[in-house]
Amino acid sequence: MFHWLEKNPFFFAVGVFVVIAFAGLIEILPNFAEASRPVVGLKPYTVLELAGKNIYKKDHCIACHSQLIRPFKAETDRYGQYSLSGEYAYDRPFLWGSKRTGPDLHRVGNYRTTDWHENHMWDPKSVVPQSIMPAYKHQFTNIADIETAYAEAVTVKNIFGTPYGDEFQPTKEAWEAYRPTVLAEAKAIADDMKNKDVKEAVANGQIPEIVAMIAYLNRLK
């Protein structure tokens, strides 16, 4: 058989290709599967962070910011550790992006604070004088849709097996029981902010979009 293959270069090349392709699949696919698993210590987004992620999408932040640091020195020097597949295990959808009018945000939680984000979203030029980013003052008055974010958490838990706790159930009673947890997380963020209207809203049981947005940005590490 091998003599026949040696005399037929076309079939010999096909045979070599098949063998190499098969061996490559055996070697590569398990590594892909391993890389896609959640990195150690990764937790699903909190409901407040999910609400912030939805605001990030609604206000089209992905149009100017990526969330994918490539393994090049120029990128890791500026943004930090390059992105790993397993870090996106609970992202649906991924917000990798492909445009960088502004900086990549995948590690922004490591070097920006709640106070910085508050000033930046209210008036970008106050902290980055050369910024061309518009102000997002509406986020300080618009109320975040937290109930929909809770429903999203329940959905991904039931469909994709995202490891949320037993308190995540598709009932109004379950949401009402969980709501104080979200308010406590929001209050911790509002306490670090200066805007009195935001603080008052959270104290009255409402969560402005800016609080959810900051919760999401602080999560990106």
Q: What is the mean pLDDT of the chain?
A: 91
Question: In the structure encoding, which two tokens stand for residue 6, read together?
Answer: 């040696």
List, for residues 190-217, the tens digit of each pLDDT value: 999 999 999 999 999 999 999 999 999 9
Question: In the structure encoding, which two tokens stand for residue 108, read together?
Answer: 């922004």
pLDDT given at position 197: 97
List, for residues 22-69, the tens digit of each pLDDT value: 776 666 655 555 556 788 889 999 999 999 999 999 999 999 999 999
Between CA 149 and CA 155 the distance in angstroms is 10
* One-character DSSP codes across 171-216: SHHHHHHHHHHHHHHHHHHHTT---HHHHHHHHTT--BHHHHHHHH
160: burial class by Cβ within 10 Å (0-12, 13-18, 19+)? exposed
The mean pLDDT of 187-192, rounded to a whole number, is 97
Between 172-190 and 146-160, two packed helices, what is the crossing angle to 10 degrees?
120
Q: Is the peptide bond before 44 cis (omega within 30 degrees of 0)?
A: no
pLDDT greater at residue 30 or residue 94: 94
Assign domain 47-219 to its CATH superfamily. Answer: Cytochrome c-like domain (1.10.760.10)
Question: What's the farthest any 2 CA atoms get from each other in the chain?
Answer: 85
Among 4-8, 93-97, 141-145, whose mean pLDDT is lowest?
4-8
Question: In the structure encoding, which two tokens stand for residue 175, read together?
Answer: 């949401």
